[in-house]
Amino acid sequence: MKIKAYGIKEEGGKAEPFYYERSVGENEVRIKILYCSIARGDVQFISNDWGDTKYPLVPGHEIVGTVEETGSGVTALKAGDLVGVGYQQEACFACECCKAGNEQFCTQQKVIGVHCYGGLAEHIVVDNRFAFKLSPALHSAKSVPLLSSGLTVYTGIVKAQLPANSVVGVLGAGGLGQLAIQFLHKMGHKVYAFSHSLEKKEMINQLGAEFILSSSPGNLSELDKKFDFIISTLNVEYDLDAFLKILKPQGKFCVVASPLKKQSISIGLLYDYAQRTIYGNYVGSRKDMVEMLDFAARHNIESMVDVMSFSEMNEAIEKVRTGEVKIRLVLKNQE
């Protein structure tokens, strides 16, 4: 079938109609796309920030749609099912990582933007094991960011194995951060959100966190050794040492985003009178995705989103690029 997508031909270019041929393999499903977000990561792919973008690029790695056709080997999904697709589209299912249930580390994996086309399209064909059935409770533009942002922060948080009532911090209240606040709050922790945007204070409070203005670092010393856990969603440079200092002796710092420049740390902060841990998290496994979607549906976790139509895609990309969109932008396909 000829798939109508919207492709970007060169670094920083505009999205324009782009067609490619794609049939449905034995284990694959073809999905009619209803919603696709434009995330910070998409804009970073468009400008080739990480140097691995393949053009033409069809961005969009948070996708919701309905199954239209299934391959002969697909039993878990049928035509008409509501599904979500994230960043990863394929894995080998035979390597050590895949066998251990960590398909997100598979060296044969295919991810949108680097190896395959994304959701800024009328349809997408993916391995059915990366199309996740959504509960009717998640049939909304507000659920779309769960598919990558939600998965990433949920998995990073769960790996910390936090005891109940932990004191936790979220750095940055954007697409990933606002979902991290909600997951941590609904898990029963005391949440502080460090944001440089005073205008987000009310929203942050509504999501279940106390607001701390991160642009006046002086106040951080008052929080010395207070935190059990901090998750950073910042893709800009920040004072990592200042945040390590406010972790308790066995506190954990999870990184899910990074500035393009190298970030320095005083390594002694990891051990001096302490035993602190820094770890990273890359998206999540299929098992994490199923757990996260279930948790979100049960606890009514929804992203704050601005919704625009597919016909406004280039305007939408620009709004995300310039920071005009404060949280997350989702495009609705009206075709």
Ligand X SMILES: NC(=O)c1ccc[n+]([C@@H]2O[C@H](COP(=O)([O-])OP(=O)(O)OC[C@H]3O[C@@H](n4cnc5c(N)ncnc54)[C@H](OP(=O)(O)O)[C@@H]3O)[C@@H](O)[C@H]2O)c1
In the complex, which residues of this chain contact ligand X (CB under 6 A)?
39-41, 44, 148-149, 152, 172-177, 195-197, 200, 233-236, 256-257, 281-283
Rounded to a whole number of angstroms, the minimum distance from the CB of residue 23 to ligand X is: 30
Of the candidate residues 3, 32, 56, 95, the single one contacting Zn ion (CB under 5 A): 95
Chain-centre distance of CA 9, in angstroms?
Answer: 24
Task: Give CA–CA dist 156/87, Å, rounded.
Answer: 16
Q: How far is the CB of 78 from ligand X (least distance, A)?
A: 30
Residue 92 engages Zn ion in binding (rule: CB under 5 A)? yes
Answer for which of 98, 141, 179, 246 binds Zn ion (CB under 5 A) is 98
Residue 103 beta carbon to ligand X: minimum distance, rounded to whole angstroms: 13
- Closer residue to ligand X, CB minimum distance, 167 or 209: 209
CA-based nearest residue to 305, from 158, 140, 142, 98: 142
What is the C-alpha separation between 29 and 23, in angstroms, rounded? Answer: 9
95 makes contact, choosing from Zn ion, ligand X, none, with CB < 5 to 8 Å by partner type, with Zn ion
User: Which residues fall within 8 angstroms of residue 25, CB to CB, at 6 or more apart?
Assistant: 71, 125
Q: How many CA atoms lie within 13 A of 78 on its CB side?
A: 1
106 binds, among Zn ion, ligand X, none (CB under 5 to 8 A by kind): Zn ion
Cβ(280)–Cβ(155) below 8 Å: no
Residue 70 binds which entry of ligand X, Zn ion, none, CB below 5-8 Å type-dependent: none
Residue whose CB is less far from ligand X, 169 or 177: 177
Question: Whose Cβ is closer to ligand X: residue 15's or residue 112's?
Answer: 112
216 vs 300 by CB, closer to ligand X: 216
**Total residue count of the chain as it appears in this document:** 335
In 215-312, alpha helices (H): 240-245, 286-298
* Interaction between residue 106 and Zn ion (CB under 5 A): yes
Judged by CB under 5 A, the stretch of 4-12, 89-97, 269-277, 296-304 that binds Zn ion is: 89-97
- CA separation for the pair 265, 226 (Å, rounded): 19
Residue 31 contacts by C-beta under 8 Å, 6 or more apart in sequence? Answer: 63, 65, 66, 67, 68, 83, 85, 123, 124, 125, 126, 131
CA distance 131 to 125: 10
Return the number of the residue (3 or 265) whose C-beta is nearest ligand X. Answer: 265
**DSSP element (H, E) containing 83:** strand 82-85
Asked if residue 169 lies in contact with residue 192, where contact means CB atoms within 8 angstroms, the answer is yes
Instruction: Give the interface segment with Zn ion, choosing from 51-59, 100-108, 176-184, 287-295 (CB under 5 A).
Output: 100-108
Residue type, 194: F
Residue nearest to ligand X (CB): 174
CB of 329 to ligand X, least distance (A): 9
Q: Least Å distance between CB 101 and Zn ion? A: 11
Cβ distance to ligand X smaller for residue 70 or 178: 178
In the complex, the smallest distance separating the C-beta of residue 111 from Zn ion, rounded to whole angstroms, is 13
CA-CA distance, 66 to 253, in Å (whole number)?
A: 37
User: Is the CB of 95 or the CB of 307 nearer to Zn ion?
Assistant: 95
What residues make contact with Zn ion under the rule CB under 5 A?
91-92, 95, 98, 106
